[in-house]
């Protein structure tokens, strides 16, 4: 071995040891400074089902007090019963988070009931599936109202309480659709792009007030949620492709695993969490080669259902057919029971 080779080997070794020491120190620091959720009051929008319920379960296991809101009274009651069986104090609020007045009343109700609010998780959202030609302005407005404005309303209502208490934590559940525009999900993608911008901007500006904002970028997730989406165009075909993609273990993540990762990011005060390796790869490629990603989406669009002129809306469960059933789709049907989506 010549001197040059030996020097390179030693450099690589010291670099690896230094990187390992840094990661170890980082992990130790994160554990020491981890946000203790015991006794903390957490408000979860859309907390009665799906990922919201999965996060509520994880928070309950850590001793947090929960306030969950949703539109569906029956699903709220089911969630309350389950969470209280985990020996957790739960406040349920039936509210439309796209209405600013209802949001302000909701946040005040949480503060009045518990005497405080420590954590806000913006999880409520809607999805419309169909080609762009059947999506009208009302579809875009509805997506923006629920996926963007609702998050802004809750943040604006909660921040004064956080400032008063000297700290606070906000978790915004965005989407890979907020990083990459996916065909046949255009109103959803537009609203989630806006939500990512809101979350990242709030993270930059609120840090000075000791308010930590975490932007979460999930991929597809097996929760049974397709039955509650809105479908337009060729209803059965649109629902089938979305349900099958959402049900596939190759494309989707398990909700309980996602919930654990999200709550861990909350505890550590992470700025951003991209949930799956596939989503991380997609975000990386989008950053390096955005034109290639757009070209790939153009190709993918050719394999999606052909456009129709029908602007009639149906819920996912109203669009079932033989194409949306089978062994893979059964994953979604089972998850709908587990995550209160029925």
Catalytic residue IDs? 188
Q: CB within 8 A of 6, min separation 6: which ones? A: none
How far apart CA 324 and CA 227 sit, in angstroms, is 11
Q: Judge contact between 196 and 179, C-beta under 8 A.
A: yes
Provide the 3-class DSSP secondary structure of residue 68: strand
Backbone phi, psi, residue 313, to 5°:
-100, 140
Determine the Cα–Cα distance for residues 117 and 108; give it in Å rounded to an integer. 9
Which ranges in the chain belong to alpha helices (H)? 3-32, 50-61, 73-84, 100-114, 137-144, 150-165, 186-206, 235-247, 255-268, 277-288, 290-302, 330-338
Task: Give the helix/strand (H/E) hosting 286.
Answer: helix 277-288
- Per-residue tokens: 297: 């989406």
Classify the C-alpha dihedral 186-125-288-170 as positive or negative. positive
Long-range contacts of 294-298 (CB under 8 A, 24+ apart): 297/180, 297/181, 297/182, 297/183
DSSP 222-267: ESSGGGGSEE-SSHHHHHHHHHHHHH-TTTEEEHHHHHHHHHHHHH
Determine which helix (DSSP H) or strand (DSSP E) holds 92, and give its type and residue range: strand 90-94
Residues 6+ apart with CB under 8 A from 77: 92
Other C-beta atoms closer than 10 Å to the C-beta of 99 total 15
């Amino acid at each position: 071995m010549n001197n040059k080779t030996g020097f390179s080997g030693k450099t690589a070794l010291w670099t690896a040891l230094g990187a390992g020491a840094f990661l170890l120190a980082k992990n130790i620091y994160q554990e020491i400074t981890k946000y203790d959720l015991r006794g903390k009051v957490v408000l979860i929008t859309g907390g009665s089902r799906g990922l919201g319920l999965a996060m509520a379960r994880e928070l309950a296991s850590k001793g947090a007090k929960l306030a969950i809101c949703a539109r569906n009274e029956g699903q709220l009651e089911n969630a309350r019963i389950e969470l209280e069986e985990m020996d957790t104090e739960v406040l349920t609020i039936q509210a439309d988070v796209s209405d600013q007045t209802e949001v302000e009343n909701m946040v005040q109700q949480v503060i009045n009931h518990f005497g405080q609010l420590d954590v806000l998780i913006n999880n409520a959202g809607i999805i419309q599936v169909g080609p762009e030609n059947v999506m009208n302005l009302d579809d875009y407005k509805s997506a923006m109202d629920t996926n963007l404005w609702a998050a802004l309303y809750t943040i604006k209502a909660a921040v004064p309480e956080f400032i008063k208490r000297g700290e606070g934590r906000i978790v915004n559940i965005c989407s890979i659709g907020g990083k990459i525009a996916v065909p046949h999900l255009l109103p959803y993608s537009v609203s989630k792009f806006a939500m990512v911008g809101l979350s990242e901007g709030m993270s930059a500006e609120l840090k000075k007030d000791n308010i930590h904002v975490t932007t979460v970028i999930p991929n597809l997730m097996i929760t049974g949620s397709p039955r509650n989406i809105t479908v337009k165009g060729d209803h059965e075909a649109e629902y089938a492709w979305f349900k099958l993609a959402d049900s596939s273990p190759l494309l989707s993540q398990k909700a309980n695993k996602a919930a654990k990762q999200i709550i861990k990011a909350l505890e550590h005060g992470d700025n951003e969490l991209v949930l799956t390796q596939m989503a991380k790869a997609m975000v990386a490629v989008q950053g390096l080669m955005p034109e290639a990603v757009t070209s790939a989406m153009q190709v993918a669009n050719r394999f999606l259902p052909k456009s129709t002129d029908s602007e009639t809306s149906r819920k996912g469960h109203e669009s079932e057919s033989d194409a949306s059933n089978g062994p893979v789709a059964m994953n979604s049907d089972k998850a709908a029971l587990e995550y209160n989506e029925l």
